[in-house]
A and B are shown apart, each in its own frame.
Chain A
């Protein structure tokens, strides 16, 4: 993705098709601020306001904590990622964090709707309103307001530093979590690490009209590229989410079942899970599982 045109073409293509499967685009942070992060540009242009990551403990993957089932809903377009910075005086830089009522209400509503749809019982808002009284205070107010409209779902809030501490000691206490952009970045990475790492968790970015699916923790994995050792699970599970979004549930379940049965096979674990399996072995195993148990699609 070298030039402006490339990213604009990609955005246009997504507008036409409505859905996309995306890998992470590297941002060279040594370039001047005029060169914006392509990933961020895509998210804000298409107004993909909700980033959803469902972290679940998987059987067959050894982690320090068990029985984790957390759904993280992160505001994806404003907050600290507004990319509004200026240097008024040399050596003094201001970076603006923007919180708006509209977007906060929107993400809170998305969180509660999703919780209701999936039968989840509790939503926790993560914030730092004791310090950022106006900004995070507004976010919290909006969440409280929306919570009133969903009486069957219990709502509470937690300060972000306490949240991180609780996540590494007792992650089982969390159900659905909703938060602004930066805290979402931190919490989703912590949760992904708790359930087994970046190779396992898919992520979804939903907007009003478009949806883009990717790996949950958005890594480029530069250091392990081209070695046939990357874990394809996260991307494959993301593609299942895409199929679900397109209402092709039968295909989604079929592929997901095959993926989860492969992930429990310890001998096929890739390096990130402590094994020595290769990417191609994992993919082959999933294909075999699909072919042996799935429907005969050629008969359609």
Chain B
């Protein structure tokens, strides 16, 4: 941003914090720079809420979505977290001109609150509209998909001590959806890599590493084969690394990462990569810690929008039977709290969840137990209340 746009952004920021500058807001450029400089040098502070409560858009989703969403709301209430939920439905509607879009109330709520929590959405096959996730991604320009994969003590997998984060570019790459049939029997799919998107994701990866005290960022690529495209991605990562010298930067071929990941996942910290590799590697890492039922996920968009979600399916076969496991959505909500700077509440709820799982007394069926979703939720609520 330059000039006027920057100035108004700074003025809005100051107004949000209750600082009013003069009757006519005629600021000299130097004053704005001075304020911006001060703001930039501040370490990340928790957001100052005018009423103490932050409103978050909640999208319960389909299938088991509503039950796990209410489980999360109960647990947040037990923890006395300063979160107010605004429920919205995102079933696609056809706008003027026949273009599919999410309902305007949902869009307005999200743009206002900036933070969202989303349950699983189903994509009906013959509905004619694109996948809901794709629609959300395009509407809010969700360019980064962040998945922290941490081994859950108490939920045994062959891999222990996993503690890594996959950051995946979410808008372009192999999933641009640009395909053509050249001649009968010959199909061409286009993988798109742009300088802007690569720069954005690389910068985000280093920012994330810095804000979350992670030691290193590894760029995953296949530049030996895809010289120009992955080469561009790699160059942007290197440039971002130059600006963040406090975080270590390494590059590794995709095949080497896969090979080493299944032998020793502890050697990895933050991984940043284009869309396809990210899709596969993030699911691989989710498999290491126990699957999609226990993995949190966050999508970061432009303009400060962030939507946290559970990435498992809607599980229509167990919907409404009080059998669902809310862990994935709960851990995503914890990730959301950390994003908002509410680290105390995040730790409290996360510990409640992990302690309950470690205890093994009350577990849902997929975690190896026999309890109902409501029992599991109540066990976590009890632990959280005891911590208050």
Contacts and interface: CB of A to CB of B under 8 A. Distances in A.
A194 B225 CA distance: 25
Nearest to A191: B262
Contact of A189 (B225, B258, B291): B258
A73 to B, nearest CB: 17
Given A92-B195, A131-B177, A189-B255, A97 B291 contact: no
Contacts of B292: 165
Interface stretch (A6-14, A80-88, A250-258): A80-88
A269 to B, nearest CB: 14
A165 B279 CA distance: 11
A39 B137 CA distance: 38
A193 B194 contact: no
Given A64-B158, A161-B279, A169-B157, A40 B186 contact: no
Given A95-B191, A95-B229, A165-B291, A29 B223 contact: yes
B384 to A, nearest CB: 30
B94 to A, nearest CB: 22
B284 A93 contact: no
B66 interface: no
Nearest to B263: A193
Contacts of A67: none
A133 interface: yes
A81 B281 CA distance: 19
Contact of B228 (A27, A30, A87, A100): A87
Nearest to B253: A29
Contacts of A80: 174, 191, 222, 225-226
B284 A165 contact: yes
A37 to B, nearest CB: 5
A186 B220 CA distance: 12
Nearest to B257: A189
Given A32-B227, A93-B192, A164 B185 contact: no
Interface size class of B (residues with CB under 8 A): 35 or more
A277 to B, nearest CB: 18
Contacts of B190: 94-97
Nearest to B287: A165
Contacts of B286: 165
A167 interface: yes
A94 B191 contact: yes
Interface string B271-290: 00000100111111011100
Nearest to A87: B228
A95 B221 CA distance: 14
Contacts of A197: 259, 263
A21 interface: no
Interface in A188-237: 188-190, 192-194, 197-198, 217-219
A113 to B, nearest CB: 21
Contacts of A83: 225-227
B181 A134 contact: yes
A99 B191 CA distance: 13
A133 B179 contact: yes
Contacts of B180: 134
Contact of B283 (A101, A161, A194): A161
A104 to B, nearest CB: 9
Interface size class of A (residues with CB under 8 A): 35 or more
Contacts of A31: 227
Given A32-B227, A165-B287, A185-B255, A99 B279 contact: no
B280 A161 contact: yes
B259 A217 contact: yes
B255 A93 contact: no
B285 to A, nearest CB: 9
A219 B256 contact: yes
A269 B222 CA distance: 31
A260 to B, nearest CB: 21
B339 to A, nearest CB: 24
Nearest to B290: A169
A162 interface: yes
Contacts of B188: 96-98, 135
A138 B187 contact: yes
Nearest to B193: A93
B332 to A, nearest CB: 18
A145 B279 CA distance: 28
Contacts of A40: 225
Interface in B23-59: none
B245 to A, nearest CB: 21
Interface of B: 157-159, 174-175, 177, 179-181, 184-196, 222-232, 234, 254-256, 258-263, 276, 279-284, 286-288, 291-292
15 contacts: A30-B231, A33-B231, A83-B225, A86-B228, A94-B229, A95-B192, A97-B189, A138-B187, A161-B282, A162-B283, A169-B157, A182-B276, A185-B254, A186-B255, A219-B259
Given A166-B287, A167-B287, A197-B259, 13 more contacts: A29-B227, A29-B231, A81-B225, A93-B229, A96-B190, A97-B174, A99-B189, A101-B185, A128-B276, A164-B287, A183-B280, A188-B255, A190-B258
Interface of A: 27, 29-33, 37, 40, 64-65, 80-81, 83, 85-87, 90-102, 128, 131-135, 138, 160-162, 164-169, 182-183, 185-186, 188-190, 192-194, 197-198, 217-219
The 5 closest A-B pairs by CB, nearest first: A91-B195, A101-B185, A165-B287, A193-B262, A64-B158
